[in-house]
Amino acid sequence: MPLRRILLILLIAVVVIGAMVATALYVPLPLNPYLDFQVLYRANQGILQGIPLYDRAGQAQMVAENLGVTVDQVFVLPFPYPPWYALATLPIAVLPVDIAVRVWFLLNIAMLLVSVWLMTDGWQPWKRLFSFIVAPLFFPILGALIVGQYVFPTLLGMALLVYALQRKNTTSIALGMALITFKPHVGIFLLLAVVIHLLLGRDEFGRRAFWSVAATGAILFAVGFIADHNWPVNYWQSLFEFKDVSKCQLCVSLPITITAIAGGSFDQAIGVSFILFIGLTILCVKPFPALNNEGLVSLFTCMALLVNPYLQNYDFAFAVIPLFVVVHAADRISTWLVVLTVFLLPSLGLFVGRAGSPTLLISTIILTILILTNHYKGHKIIS
């Protein structure tokens, strides 16, 4: 990428972020900073004060001192994300929490709109404009925005992969792959699929892209030690602590649904998850070499949403990626009606609050079937 273009992108980013901070300072957006956002904010505050990222005791002591209470009156959730997520968002912790949550909200909207822009590259202008309007109204996305969730960098990474694979841009592929690791329990499926896709290509682009991704992974691994000097061990401990603390009471996933019907536990749902993974992998083997870039990203995004045992409502914001792919491919009334159903079904989650809504699973299953069957007259997902 030419230096002039890089400098232009950096300048635009600085201007946009400056505008966001100014907006957050002077526009009283009605956002609660003590929902999901507080986990990231407190973790980043801790890093700035020399507390290792996965040190819950240290973070609890910090919060207690800030609030003027005793440690036993404070509850701090384990940080369930890789250390580079915290490092990438570290500047947010410099701001007061009520300002920081507004900046985060605006950043999430910006990442969503950039994702839409990438996914709709080459679309008709009216169709593209309409996409910018309806994307924030997709129920899981709307919910994620309100609670300050962390899905949007990974959503941007997925969209960037579609765009970069199409244009064969190795730098953008490496950046997209880095972003999808921000939500590793979802991004790992797509990461592996893209790596296999690059290696199967057996061309110069595939080799360059693979080594670019490998170098990016090595850099992320190394910078993780800035946030926590023993992060490879402490991160896994934090994940297990998070599972024990959350008890997955708000989870909505196919493995847990199947296990619950059979009267099983979360641990048994992990076994069901493995069986689903094997089954979907077998289904994907045949069409895999013929998948175009959109199909590759959308299919393995759906797989992550179907086989993962630990998912909550906001995780299904990622379903907007395959939804856009199906919209791009659809040119018959019957498919458009299915698309409308997939878009509207999750809205029924309004009646269950933050509890898991099974309509999210139904929409994802429909999208997966549409992609695998590839029943379109026009643009093909599978060549």
- Domain-embedded: residue 245: no
- Domain-embedded: residue 274: yes
- Domain-embedded: residue 148: no
- Domain-embedded: residue 21: no
- Tell me which residue range forms the domain holding 263: 250-383
- Domain-embedded: residue 368: yes
Phi, psi of 291 (to 5 degrees): -65, 135
Q: Is the model more confident about 356 or about 310?
A: 310
Average of per-residue pLDDT values in the chain: 87
| Per-residue pLDDT at 88 exceeds 90 | yes
- Domain-embedded: residue 354: yes
320-326: average pLDDT: 93
Residue 355 gets the label, from left (phi > 0), alpha (psi -120 to 50) or beta, of beta
| pLDDT tens figures, 248-287 | 667 788 998 888 888 777 778 888 999 999 999 998 888 8
Q: How far is CA 141 from the centre of its chain?
A: 11
| Per-residue pLDDT at 1 exceeds 60 | no
| Per-residue pLDDT at 377 exceeds 50 | no
Overall domain count for the chain: 1
| Per-residue pLDDT at 94 exceeds 70 | yes
pTM of the model: 0.91
| Per-residue pLDDT at 9 exceeds 80 | no
The confidence score (pLDDT) of residue 352 equals 57
